[in-house]
């Protein structure tokens, strides 16, 4: 494999894209060639921070870069990713992968056709506590997650499912690795015209059940998941990067029941985004499989849309598609 640095660019350098640019500029395996943003001032400012070019139109970079991160608004993910994949460029696109399952499927087919890496930015997969848990064989039978956040006037153009819950949906689908056979959901509109709090129950063909709760109108921040399996369970505090493991030990002869053994592992303030981009580069170089591929992003999006539309239906309000403007004006 060539040691020549990959020529990279970031499309959309708002709050999150700016951090992507910083990671590419940091890594010796990559050269940050340019950043693109429709806001000229934003593009110039980030480009100046890293000594790279700034462009307003991503199409100016087609054929000039080997890999890109796309951190533009979700509605632009599909057309931008399509352009780069068509040009033979590897793509890391922020979550959710696209706005529709049809768009996600089209990107996956195109990436396969061109033989390029398509990775989706489900950042929580690179949390050090989760990565440590995944080092051991798992057989989840019941999963419970809570992802709570105070209200912020950010991403309120989508439901809390696509804003927050999709992280846990992606993790659960990966942990269980079985067909989703039933799904139930309920939620409420609290501070916005969209869904602000949701509870979803996912049932899988292997008997596992997952109960997910997400809120963006809470008084505190919390990102926790508990995974129950035969003879023990694991608890992950994503926010503080703490993994707690509990399992049955030998039987206590005095009381006649097995002892419960517990272990708590705390991880340093690891840089999940840097780990994500390093994994992207390693996949491009053929050093490891893609951690969160396009199909994984598509499955998470499909489940998230089903949950969202089910809650809309239960609330008797317009669905995502019905809210979109129809025709030209």
pLDDT band (50, 70, 90) for residue 314 = confident
Fold of 125-270+303-315: Dihydrodipicolinate Reductase; domain 2 (3.30.360)
pLDDT for 194 equals 86
Residue 126 DSSP code: G
Rounded to whole angstroms, how far apart are CA atoms 109 and 127? 29
pLDDT above 50: residue 326: no
Q: Of 142, 212, 218, whose CA–CA distance to 184 is shortest?
A: 212
CATH tag for 6-116 (out of 3.20.20.80, 3.40.50.11810, 1.20.120.530, 3.40.50.720) = 3.40.50.720
pLDDT band (50, 70, 90) for residue 304 = very high
CA torsion sign, 3 to 7 to 12 to 15?
A: positive
> What whole-number percentage of the chain has pLDDT above 70?
92
Least confident of 75-89, 120-134, 156-170, 249-263: 249-263
Rounded to whole angstroms, how far apart are CA atoms 107 and 101? 10
Residue 293 DSSP code: B
Rounded to whole angstroms, how far apart are CA atoms 292 and 301? 13
* 133 membership: H or E segment, kind and range: helix 128-133
* Domains 6-116 and 125-270+303-315 are alike in CATH topology: no
Per-domain boundaries in the chain: 6-116, 125-270+303-315
| Three-state DSSP state, 213 | strand
58 token code pair: 């991503």
CB burial class (10 A; 0-12, 13-18, 19+) of residue 46?
Answer: buried
Mean pLDDT over the full length of the chain:
92
pLDDT in tens, 144-192: 999 999 988 765 567 899 989 999 999 999 999 999 999 999 999 998 8
pLDDT in tens, 54-83: 999 999 999 999 999 999 999 999 999 999
């Amino acid at each position: 494999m060539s040691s020549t640095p990959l020529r990279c660019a970031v499309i959309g350098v708002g709050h999150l894209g700016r951090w992507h640019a910083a990671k590419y500029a940091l890594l010796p395996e990559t050269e940050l060639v340019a950043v693109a943003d429709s806001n000229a001032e934003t593009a110039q400012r980030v480009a100046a921070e890293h000594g790279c070019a700034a462009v307003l139109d991503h199409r100016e970079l087609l054929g000039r870069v080997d890999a890109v991160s796309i951190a533009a608004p979700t509605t632009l993910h599909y057309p931008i990713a399509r352009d780069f994949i068509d040009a033979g460029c590897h793509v890391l696109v922020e979550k959710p992968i696209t706005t529709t399952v049809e768009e996600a499927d089209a990107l996956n087919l195109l990436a396969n056709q061109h033989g390029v890496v398509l990775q989706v930015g489900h950042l929580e997969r690179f949390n050090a506590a989760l990565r440590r848990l995944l080092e051991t064989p798992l057989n989840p039978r019941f999963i419970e997650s809570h992802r709570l956040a105070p209200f912020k006037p950010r991403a309120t153009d989508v439901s809390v499912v696509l804003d927050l819950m999709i992280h846990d949906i992606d993790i659960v689908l990966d942990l269980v690795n079985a067909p989703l056979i039933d799904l139930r959901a309920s939620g409420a509109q609290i501070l916005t015209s969209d869904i602000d709090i949701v509870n979803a129950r996912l049932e899988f063909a292997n008997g596992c059940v997952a109960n997910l709760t997400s809120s963006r109108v809470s008084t505190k921040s919390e990102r926790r998941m508990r995974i129950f399996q035969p003879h023990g369970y694991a608890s992950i505090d994503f926010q503080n990067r703490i993994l707690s493991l509990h399992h049955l030990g030998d039987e206590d002869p005095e009381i006649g029941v097995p002892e419960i053994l517990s272990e708590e592992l705390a991880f340093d303030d690891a840089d999940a985004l840097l780990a994500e981009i390093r994994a992207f580069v390693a996949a491009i170089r053929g050093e490891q499989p893609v951690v969160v591929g396009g199909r994984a992003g598509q499955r998470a999006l499909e489940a998230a849309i089903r949950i969202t539309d089910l809650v809309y239906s239960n609330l008797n309000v317009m669905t995502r598609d019905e809210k979109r403007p129809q025709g030209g004006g």
